Amino acid sequence: MGNSALQRQESLVSQAMKKKHALPEWATSSEYANLDSLQKGLRKAGLESSNLIVAVDFTKSNMTQGSTTNGGTSLHAISETRLNPYETVLDIMGKTMSPFDDDNLIPAFYFGDSKTRHNSTASFLNEDQTCHGMDQVLREYRHLAQRLDFSGPTSFGPVIDAATEIVENSGNGFHILVIVADGQVSTHLNCLKETRASLIRASRFPLAVVIVGVGDGPFEEMDVLDDDLPDRLFDNCQFIEFSPFQAALERGEAKQVVEAAFAVCTLQEIPMQYRMAADLGLLEAPSQRSQTDGGRSAARHAAIADNIHFDTMSSHFKGNRTKRPLHFADDTNGQPPTGEGTPSKKPRA
């Protein structure tokens, strides 16, 4: 790939991240030239395996949030000739992460319709079955987009709790939850409060949450979820706005250039989050944790997370940290602190 294409990729990443120097250390010019190279870069940065979970926002605002960025049509409009923003995001994430997923089974959820609203989440398939690959996710999404009654308000809490439950039931394998939504979390009906609480609970598990904003926005307050939750064990959430990449694709820019730049933005914190989860011992099964270290206190966890996040973040990319999880003994028997334990099971539609 020529220098001009690489410069365009870096420009897209910087625009989306609103920084002049936004590339993570693992994403050198050769490692985000295309999706194949990006996957190699993720592996060199320490990501060994991951399981993908996806969630889609069906709130009513999707009907109007494409007035500027989607030609005035609904963000969920289904066409035979082009992908809508939701389809494009899911397609890119599927192509990027499938090599890290051993079984290619993808739990897929939706929320914000007239049945789930802000109170619950529902599976794309009946009885919470998982989709076999992103192709099935996209097929089921298209059916839902044409039959659901869009409603609201917007809360990510139920789907984050559902993903946390999946991680716990899997024996604490590393998972990435990709939430695709058209706007900010609602501030009324405790939606924002519950979303924040769910992110804090989720930080006790090896779960990374990537929120992709599609449509016109606004998205300013999403930084609160991305950066401003000091009670988390580790920074488990990343937000990225999709509109710069959508605009580039619609201008006819090289598809592989734009897709790789978008993937860099969405996944830039994943290697660090994976290593932090490992260093905190979160990748161990609960029974193994209790046998090997007697449990951990919340205060000790927080101190470890703060030290890793602020003092040694860059060393995660350079391979200088030990690969052995840290162990600290206390009297909690491997359970999260009171009030922050396993999320209650939300009613499913």
Rounded to an integer, the average pLDDT of 162-177 is 95
User: Is a pLDDT exceeding 50 seen at residue 196?
Assistant: yes
pLDDT at 59 (0 to 100): 95
Q: Is residue 346 part of a domain?
A: no
The predicted-structure confidence for 29-69, as pLDDT tens digits, reads as follows 555 556 777 777 778 767 778 899 999 999 999 999 888 88
Q: 272 — phi, psi (to 5°)?
A: -65, -45
Token pair of 72 as six digits:
């005035």
Maximum mean pLDDT: which of 214-223, 276-285, 302-311: 276-285
pLDDT at 295 (0 to 100): 40
The predicted-structure confidence for 294-321, as pLDDT tens digits, reads as follows 344 333 444 434 443 333 333 332 333 2
Cβ density class 266-300: b for 16+ within 10 Å, e for less: bbbbbbbbbbbbbbbbbbbebeebeeebebbebee
For residue 53, what are the β-bridge partners?
Answer: 177
Q: Are 130 and 105 in contact (CB under 8 A)?
A: yes
pTM of the predicted structure, to 2 decimals: 0.78
Total residues found in the chain within this entry:
349
Maximum mean pLDDT: which of 103-107, 224-228, 299-303: 103-107
pLDDT at 28 (0 to 100): 53
pLDDT at 188 (0 to 100): 85
Closest CA to 56 of 215, 245, 274, 294: 215
pLDDT at 12 (0 to 100): 79
User: Is a pLDDT exceeding 50 seen at residue 344?
Assistant: no
Q: Is residue 17 part of a domain?
A: no
pLDDT at 22 (0 to 100): 53
Q: Is residue 306 part of a domain?
A: no
pLDDT, mean over the chain: 78
Residue ranges making up the domain that contains 101 = 31-277
Band of residue 27 on the pLDDT scale cut at 50, 70, 90: low
Q: Is residue 247 part of a domain?
A: yes
Q: Is residue 121 part of a domain?
A: yes
Q: Are 57 and 181 in contact (CB under 8 A)?
A: yes
Q: Are 56 and 156 in contact (CB under 8 A)?
A: no
Q: Is residue 301 part of a domain?
A: no
Distance CA 51, CA 129 (A): 15
pLDDT at 151 (0 to 100): 95
Q: CATH number of the domain at 129, please.
A: 3.40.50.410
User: Is a pLDDT exceeding 90 seen at residue 101?
Assistant: no
Q: Are 104 and 151 in contact (CB under 8 A)?
A: no
Band of residue 94 on the pLDDT scale cut at 50, 70, 90: very high
The predicted-structure confidence for 114-134, as pLDDT tens digits, reads as follows 999 999 999 999 887 999 999
Band of residue 184 on the pLDDT scale cut at 50, 70, 90: confident
User: Is a pLDDT exceeding 60 seen at residue 212?
Assistant: yes
pLDDT at 171 (0 to 100): 94
Closest CA to 176 of 119, 264, 93, 99: 93
pLDDT at 336 (0 to 100): 38
Q: Is residue 229 part of a domain?
A: yes
Q: Is residue 269 part of a domain?
A: yes
Domain count, the chain: 1
